[in-house]
Amino acid sequence: MAERRMMSKQFVNNASFMKMSDSAKLLYFYLNVNADDDGIVEAYAYSQMLNTPEDDVKVLCQKEFIVFLNDDWLAFLPHWLINQQLRADRYKPSIHRNTLLNKYPDSISKLKKISLEQFNKSIQQEELKPEVYKKIFGIPTDNQLETQVRSGQKSQGQESLEKGSVDELRSGQIKRSELQKTITASFLDPKSKEIIMDRVDNFSEEEQIQIFKILSQSKSSIERKTGVMIRGSEYESLTHQMLEIVLEELVKKVKSREKVNMFAYLNKSFTEYWNSLVKTIHNERNLNFFQN
């Protein structure tokens, strides 16, 4: 997320904004400064920090300066692009972008446009609804394509399918990447997913998918062998460190053109890490036993 944010004179000098109380304006400024690159921000903490009156929050909502996405005050700023100029090379889609679009599909017009490839690479907290996906990208998801093929429905996509197989369509420019599905289904926390995606950008999509799968499969394998359930949420910081070290070392090996079996290296490294966590868990249990 950028360290600097802007406010347009066109926006702050607008009568609708100027007529608000100073405390409402202050909250908005704080939300604007702390929002992610799609103008989405956790508003509750800042309203509490500033001791913003509830009526001011209601005014911001009534004037549609903020829109709440859930009961925890995850908020979207609809005027985001009026205030911000986002460089394409620094822009990172919000992890809540799909949450916004699933609830308010028309808000796509208030977001920075991204390609299908960027969308597939972005880490999201929830899957985009099939009907929203089709509305935005103009094509159905894989599941919708398969349903159309089975049911014999005719559409522009179906006409293309009649000229080739479903697999051929998916391998073209309009294919719906499996990467997003793999990332969403992963047990990892958002930070871990971000670390992986930041460090494997030069790998193919198939290789990126495989990295997530190896990480998950190696964990499951160790859990089955040892009978110990590894709760990732309890060891997030250790996992972050491991991913950074392992993936940076892999990138170095690849860039130096060292002959390395990428998947064997990852499986060995991830397995060693999960084994070390199992030992840590055993030690913690033994310590708690003696203390009790």
3-class SS shares of the chain: helix, strand, coil, % to 5: 65, 5, 35
Q: Is the pLDDT of residue 173 over 50?
A: no
Q: What are phi and psi of 231, to 5 degrees?
A: -85, 105
Give the burial class of 28: count Cβ atoms within 10 A of its Cβ; 0-12 exposed, 13-18 middle, 19 or more buried. buried
- List all residues 6 or more positions away from 292 whose beta carbon is below 8 Å from its beta carbon: none
Position 226 confidence tier, pLDDT thresholds 50, 70, 90: confident
The per-residue pLDDT for 285 is 64
Position 199 confidence tier, pLDDT thresholds 50, 70, 90: confident
The per-residue pLDDT for 68 is 95
Could you tell me which residue, 151 or 90, shows the higher pLDDT?
90
Position 280 confidence tier, pLDDT thresholds 50, 70, 90: confident
Position 92 confidence tier, pLDDT thresholds 50, 70, 90: confident
Query: What are the residues facing 74 on neighbouring strands?
Result: 42
Position 169 confidence tier, pLDDT thresholds 50, 70, 90: very low
Position 243 confidence tier, pLDDT thresholds 50, 70, 90: very high
Residue among 112, 117, 60 nearest 86 (CA): 112
For residue 1, what are its two tokens? 């997320």
